[in-house]
Structure 1
Amino acid sequence: MSPKVTEVDGRELKVENQEMTGSSMLIQALARENVDVIFGYPGGAILPTYDEIYRTGIRHILARHEQGAVHAAEGYARVSGKAGVCVVTSGPGATNVVTGLADAMIDSLPMVVITGQVATSVIGTDAFQEADVVGVTMPVTKHNFQVREVEELPRVIKEAFHIATTGRPGPVLIDLPKDVSVASGFFNYDQDVDLPGYQPTVVPNKLQIKKLAEAVTKAKKPVLLVGAGVLHSKASKELLDYVEQQQIPVTSTLLGLGAFPGSHKLHLGMAGMHGTYTANMALHEADLLINVGARFDDRLTGNLKHFAPEAVVAHIDIDPAEIGKNVETAIPVVGDAKEALRMLVEVDGRPSACDEWKEQVQQWAAEYPLWYNEDDTTLKPQRLVEMIYEETGGEAVVTTDVGQHQMWAAQFYKFDKPNRWVTSGGLGTMGFGFPSAIGAQFAEPDKQVVAVLGDAGFQMTAQEMSILQELNLPVKIILVNNASLGMVRQWQQLFYEERYSNSLFPIQPDFVKMAEAYNIKGWKVENPNDMQQTLKEALDYNGPVLVDCRVAKEENVYPMIAPGSGHHEMEGIKP
């Protein structure tokens, strides 16, 4: 077979069917998968790969901790829609990415993570920096591989990217022993992916689509529940087309925000534990609930005994395991959200009479909006998020950690476009928000990226400020600083008789000096009257910034569905 030269993005790559090392194969394969950036951290077992990175010049971002690298890859994946790539070494390097793998798995993010491993001859001997990475990560990856022969490597990499990015996206891990990375073999990347046991259903069954359309025609109180599956399938246009054709009210999950325009007249807001009164009551009183790409997780449903008690439930999802898992489903539709919505638009089964229903949800929205008590002397976190929205025109990519600040950002920042909202949903990972903002900035270098962070979560991965310093990356860090583990404190106040066990921070670092130590511009704001101008300066600043916003310490997130309660039992609705 004659050799063939391949070119990617103007770069001439090594010829096909040429003999090369495993590490060279890996880098060549990443180039063929159009990988433009890798996040990682080197170490002994992965050094041959890092030597190849040095020699080929592929772009690599050196994190200061493996957790930072994997969360950056997640942020890149969330915003770009492409697979995020992370490379780390064996043992502790590999175990340090497990949290990110679990986070990506539950939130369906496409990732390919390459871990170095000790030589095959000493696997199982408790060699230096050895860990059973395949065993450790099996529950938190969509699939994983350990490569034992160098000529398997091109096939494994191609399969890894295919599995990570098709069907329900997810993380795939490749464990690469050091001896395999230095061994030589023939590189062939032209082979087709052949996985008989992995054939995701993309096009839904036409009869199920027809059944759903007929149910819509009969419905008096239909509502759409939109999840991240719409974003993963790039189906925002199809969703908007369907909603405007059918005139059905829409609610979003936390991770579905941005799939449907947040300012649209038919958008009722986020549903769930801290969702809007309108969205939650719409779910409670609906007679038809159409779930498009959401998981029916517990923070969305509340007490399942009270969830959508009057509704016929239809569920569109590419992962059949999710359908009927938590909520009994009358109309299952297995397939890609884009295809399902396109087919539904073609069928056009409009609701026969739901004008009264739309009037009802609009009345709820008018009577029970999101609210907070404004105060001239203290900075309210809700108002802070509103100001960020106003100053960015709703155009920013917003990332968060998990907790109160996350919920306030979800409630008060209206996401009108897809892939602008980056947060940790299912796993609720503190430390996610800042490094994910770094990955998001690489995915969209020309967009403004704002990391809205809690003071606690930020301190878990604050060392990644080195990347901002090194590359002058213009990420804007906005600390919602209430000197506590905010959501923990709120639960202790409401459910533990105000016993604040280890949730308050009597002493904090000087975050402005901390930023300045990394040569990053910093501001501290306590007076609410100074916030707007400071925020404007920070967002206009040409480079990375940190703004330490000292917000009201005892502010709580409302509305709230208490544990064990249903959507109709919300607390803290507008008085």
Structure 2
Amino acid sequence: MIKTGSQILLDSLIREGVEYIFGIPGGANLPLFDALYASPIKFILTRHEQGAGHAADGYARATGKVGVCLATSGPGATNLVTAIATAYMDSVPMVAITGQVKTFLIGNDAFQEADIIGITRPITKHSYLVKDVKDLARIVKEAFYIANTGRRGPVLIDLPVDITLEKCEEIVPTEVDLPGYKPRYEGNIRQIKIAAEEINNSVQPVVYTGGGIVASDSAKELLELAEKGNLPVTTTLMGLGGFPEDHKLSLGMLGMHGTVYANFAVTECDLLIAIGSRFDDRVTGKIDEFAPRAKIIHVDVDPASISKTIRVDIPIVGDAKNILQELNKHIYFAERKEWFDKIKSWKEKNPLSYNEGENVIKPQYVIEQICDAGKGNVIITTEVGQNQMWAAQFFTYTKPRTFLSSGGLGTMGYGFPAAIGAQLGCPDKIVVDIAGDGSIQMNIQELSTIARLNIPVKIVILNNGYLGMVRQWQELFYNKRYSGVKLNGNPDFVKLAEAYGTKGFLIEKKEEVRPTIEKAFSSKGPVVMDFRIDPTENVFPMVPAGQAIHRMIGTMA
């Protein structure tokens, strides 16, 4: 059947199961929007392309499907860059489609032309400039395959406007053939058996897991490993929810703002079993003092991540789910009483805690109340900074895909649009964006998006009048020389919410916290909650930059 490039693109997206496209139209993608007019795919008009990219990212993280965003050429495409980089750093499957000037104008500095392929090459898993409409169906199929296999990540399709208008006989591809791209899923059996022997013989083991557990849907297999082998488990920020934090074997999060007991356990362990994690600097701290006495097993689908930062003794390349299924066949229960007695002592001496204070709202208390009121049916998205760390520390995550945050890039402005994507992908969940008063203003224009479509995202602003994490660092390491962090001139967030057409609540007293959260959760539409928190509250424990992770401040240790 003869079709235009636009029709071929949309039919290809339908075959890939795409439900939503997030984006903004423009001159170079108008033919796509004309085709979208009669398409079953739902288009979500955001108010900024960065918001569209983060919404596609949030949809992908919450559902496990590939997120799709769409922008026009030039500034529309460049506005996607931060969102693409965010997805790349956190291995999120996303396909970004950008309009481009006509093929014969490329390279001539035409109106709204930008070399988006060149700009995004370091932050995409792969990219395509479509030069022939006959290649389009194949390219779309390959893009989705690349984005959602191996170490997942964003793929960009740059589509000149004349290609979208050209017609050809559509040839529907039935398979993907990429000779240079063959992700490995099955781990080496010999290596798995060696790893199992080390685990069974270890005295002080720790399992250290990251976002790879969530991405590979292997939380069940991880739980089996921990219980079968009697192994304590710590997770990275990206791994939150991959192991239930209410489980007796949970150590919570490790790293710069991790728990004392997780950091101590990693420092003193004799075997570290790393699964789906990449030894990020916020996790390791000072490298030569990270797990100094431990043998290290590293399971990862990306061979380039193994021994990149930390020397690994037993590498296993492959998909975490497949490897754990095989590994669990060879694991035996071990008591390890002395090791667990030591961990218990660390937990008792240094629990995650805070000073509740008087006549002031503590951010940790707000997080705890959200967790309790949500009754296990909440997806948390966050911005970046203190709000992110409090959300990581004081919400109890028991299920995968319930904590969505920018880990690798640390993108302020991520959480709110990501919540939009998560809410659309998981309509039966309560989706809460935990934000600071600085970070919420990075993409606050998306209030228009949720108001217009009545998307019931709940926004929690932990309002302390500062760029809080920067202020904390200036307090602790720069002699309280507070430079550029006081947010003078913040808007009235309640009035702003109402101006956009959403509900807004101001919370200034502790006794108002829980009732307001319950009122927001029972609301069928979007809600903004402005919590005026203690402006001097800091995130503890904390490992100073460049220090070993067992050298924490703000603790009893």
TM (norm. structure 1) is 0.96
Structure 2: distance between partners of 1:342 and 1:225: 17
Q: Post-superposition shift, 1:348?
A: 1.9
Q: Is the 8 A contact 1:204 1:333 kept in 2?
A: yes
Q: Post-superposition shift, 1:528?
A: 1.2
Aligned residue runs from structure 1 range 220-231, under 5 A:
220-231=203-214
2:186 alignment counterpart:
203
Q: Does 1:324 align with 2:307?
A: yes
Q: Post-superposition shift, 1:506?
A: 2.3
Amino acid at match of 2:93: P
SS at match of 1:480: strand
Structure 1: distance between partners of 2:147 and 2:176: 13
Amino acid at match of 2:34: D
Structure 1: distance between partners of 2:173 and 2:79: 34
1:3 alignment counterpart:
none
2:506 corresponds, among 524, 535, 543, to 524
Q: Post-superposition shift, 1:305?
A: 1.4
Runs of 4+ in 1 over 6 A off after TM superposition: none
1:401 alignment counterpart:
383
Q: Does 1:303 align with 2:267?
A: no
Structure 1: distance between partners of 2:331 and 2:381: 37
Q: Post-superposition shift, 1:262?
A: 1.0
Amino acid at match of 1:114: I
Amino acid at match of 1:22: G
2:10 alignment counterpart:
27
Q: Does 1:60 align with 2:43?
A: yes
Structure 2: distance between partners of 1:542 and 1:57: 25
SS at match of 2:511: helix
Amino acid at match of 1:179: D
Amino acid at match of 2:274: N
Q: Is the 8 A contact 1:455 1:481 kept in 2?
A: yes
2:89 alignment counterpart:
106
Structure 2: distance between partners of 1:362 and 1:19: 69
Q: Which moved more, 1:462-471 or 1:66-75?
A: 462-471
- CA deviation map 1:144-199 (0-9, x unaligned): 00000000000000000000001111000000001111011121223310001100
2:496 alignment counterpart:
514
1:485 alignment counterpart:
467
SS at match of 1:87: strand
Structure 2: distance between partners of 1:251 and 1:436: 25
- CA deviation map 1:485-518 (0-9, x unaligned): 0000000111111111101112210000000001
Aligned length: 557
Q: CA RMSD in A?
A: 0.9
- CA deviation map 1:314-336 (0-9, x unaligned): 10000000000000000000000
Q: Is the 8 A contact 1:216 1:350 kept in 2?
A: no
- CA deviation map 1:351-396 (0-9, x unaligned): 4x52211121122111110111111211000111111111112320
1:92 corresponds, among 75, 85, 93, to 75
1:239 alignment counterpart:
222
Q: Is the 8 A contact 2:228 2:332 kept in 1?
A: no
Q: Post-superposition shift, 1:350?
A: 4.5
2:338 alignment counterpart:
356
Q: Post-superposition shift, 1:472?
A: 1.0
Q: Post-superposition shift, 1:467?
A: 1.4
Structure 2: distance between partners of 1:574 and 1:62: 50
2:105 corresponds, among 122, 147, 164, to 122
Structure 2: distance between partners of 1:412 and 1:533: 19
Structure 2: distance between partners of 1:527 and 1:166: 48
Structure 2: distance between partners of 1:554 and 1:272: 23
Q: Does 1:422 align with 2:410?
A: no
Structure 2: distance between partners of 1:341 and 1:220: 21
1:134 corresponds, among 117, 134, 148, to 117
Aligned residue runs from structure 1 range 244-263, under 5 A:
244-263=227-246
2:154 alignment counterpart:
171
Identity in percent: 51
- CA deviation map 1:208-239 (0-9, x unaligned): 00110111122100000010001110001111
Amino acid at match of 1:313: I
Structure 1: distance between partners of 2:66 and 2:124: 14
- CA deviation map 1:415-451 (0-9, x unaligned): 1011011100000000001000000001101111011
2:480 alignment counterpart:
498
SS at match of 2:37: helix
SS at match of 1:397: strand
Structure 1: unaligned runs, 5 residues or longer: 1-17
Structure 1: distance between partners of 2:165 and 2:488: 52
1:561 corresponds, among 538, 543, 549, to 543
2:54 alignment counterpart:
71
1:367 alignment counterpart:
349
1:51 corresponds, among 27, 34, 48, to 34
- CA deviation map 1:525-556 (0-9, x unaligned): 11112211112111112211011000000100
